[in-house]
Amino acid sequence: MKVDRSTEDAAGIALDRRRILPVFLIVCTYSAGAAAILPVLPFLIQSMGGSPLVIGIVITAEAIGQFASAPVLGLLSDRFGRRRVLMMSQVIAAVSLVLLAFAPGVAFILLARIMFGLTAGNVSVTAAYVADHTHAGNRRQAMGFLMAGAGLGGIVGAGLSGLLSHTSLNAPVLAALGLVIASAVITELRLDDERAAGGIGHHSQAETASFRAIVASPAIGILVAVMLCHVFAYGMYISQLPVFLGETFVWNGHAFGAKEFSYLIMADGAINILVQIFMLGWLGRYLTERSMILLIFTFICLGFVTAGLATTIPALALAVLCVSTGDALAKPTYLAALSTLVPPQRQGIVLGAAQSLTAVADIVSPVLAGFILGYALYGIWIGAAVAVAATGAVIAATLLHIRAETPRCDM
């Protein structure tokens, strides 16, 4: 598949950042809340007696929620507007964080993460909002701007987590609750949801149509297959990275912990911002979608191998740089390419369906990685992540060369 780039080269199409600034702020604050939890969650589970496999199951529970909710939230946003659906998901997220903050055991943590996962489908809603308010010629740049908001939120959230984790493991969760509430306030007060709703049809028929569109369209199906490989490989790596480093890595003479992991998340956020604001647009002028995706897989494979071999902080920093650069390039590239293959009235539901399918990888990969690390098979863990990423690169190299068909309104 090769997305038609003629529109991307159209002259005189400037991105109006003011139109998407509210959704940038929403994504930023929401991502900050999510990032505040990530450094402490594995250690919170371990403090209640959870093993690496249990950590993987809890992370998988969040992905199950995402799998169930993403196409539904996308459909509802197509029918009733983006703002209403974002508000609903943010309220659910706030309730889940209250439950997580006061969870007496792992079972309650599991329930809280399932609830939080139900709100993860709002990624497709925000992406659909950006697609509503941008031209195909500047959509990848706009998606990069949106993902930069997520990166900035990651820095803020991880920084708060590092500062507050000394107080207690629950303190960052309460900070995350405040950030999600702030995101809901911005949604209510600032989001301009002028898009007309309706015209989608019956709920079950629309949801079935969205998955049928992915299966029936070779261009969309191949792109989603590549996305699945990327998400699976990255999920294996990131879900168990704190466990791996906690067991094998010495940070300035002491064991790797929640504070140190927060540093890595902050670095990841900073790299995301720099790549998506400065590097993405420059590369987009010279690389086709297939070349960009091959570069993405090259970065993450190098990062995985380097992380598995790292024994010093500079080596670990190089691994984070490679993986974060690849992942930062991936999200806007995939979303922009997919949105150009979908008619405007189907943006939310088809993007949501694609996110739901990639959530399958998020469901399986943490459990598989946790099982492998439960036996301290570190080389197999990294090797499996590299193998899946390499499979995605092969698919991209051999199949992503067909010109995308014109999107049809009956999808």
Taking the CA atoms of 48, 50, 56 and 62 in sequence, report the sign of the dihedral they define: negative
Distance CA 28, CA 146 (A): 8
Distance CA 299, CA 294 (A): 9
- pLDDT tens-place string over residues 280-334: 888 988 888 889 999 999 999 999 999 999 999 999 999 999 999 999 999 889 9
Residue 102 pLDDT greater than 80, yes or no: yes
Domain membership flag for residue 8? no
Residue 205 pLDDT greater than 60, yes or no: no
Which CATH number fits the domain that encloses residue 207? 1.20.1250.20
The predicted model gives 358-367 an average pLDDT of: 88
Domain membership flag for residue 251? yes
Distance CA 386, CA 232 (A): 10
Residue with tokens 């969650």: 41
pLDDT of residue 281: 83
pLDDT of residue 22: 86
Residue 349 pLDDT greater than 90, yes or no: no
The predicted model gives 6-26 an average pLDDT of: 67
Provide the β-strand partners of residue 131: none
Domain membership flag for residue 265? yes
pLDDT of residue 10: 42
Domain membership flag for residue 327? yes
Residue 200 pLDDT greater than 60, yes or no: no
What is the pLDDT confidence band of residue 212, given thresholds at 50, 70 and 90?
A: low
Distance CA 204, CA 209 (A): 8
Domain membership flag for residue 358? yes
Domain membership flag for residue 292? yes
- pLDDT tens-place string over residues 112-131: 999 998 987 677 788 888 88
The answer, as to whether pTM is greater than 0.85, is no
- The C-alpha R_g of the chain, in whole angstroms, comes to 20
Distance CA 406, CA 94 (A): 40
User: What DSSP designation does 278 have?
Assistant: I
Helix (H, G, I), strand (E, B) or coil at 27: helix
Distance CA 74, CA 79 (A): 9
Name the domain count of the chain.
1
Tokens found for residue 150: 């997520």
CA–CA–CA angle 52, 56, 59 (5° rounding): 140
The predicted model gives 240-259 an average pLDDT of: 91
Domain membership flag for residue 39? yes
Q: Which residue has the higher pLDDT, 152 or 347?
A: 152
- pLDDT tens-place string over residues 377-406: 999 999 999 999 999 999 999 988 644 444
- pLDDT tens-place string over residues 22-73: 888 888 998 899 889 989 999 899 999 988 889 989 988 888 888 888 778 8
Distance CA 401, CA 407 (A): 17
Tokens found for residue 340: 């150009």
* Alpha-helix residue ranges (DSSP H) falling in 38-138: 41-47, 52-80, 82-101, 106-118, 122-132
Residues spanned by the domain of 348: 17-194+202-399
Domain membership flag for residue 4? no
Cβ-contact 354, 225 below 8 angstroms: no
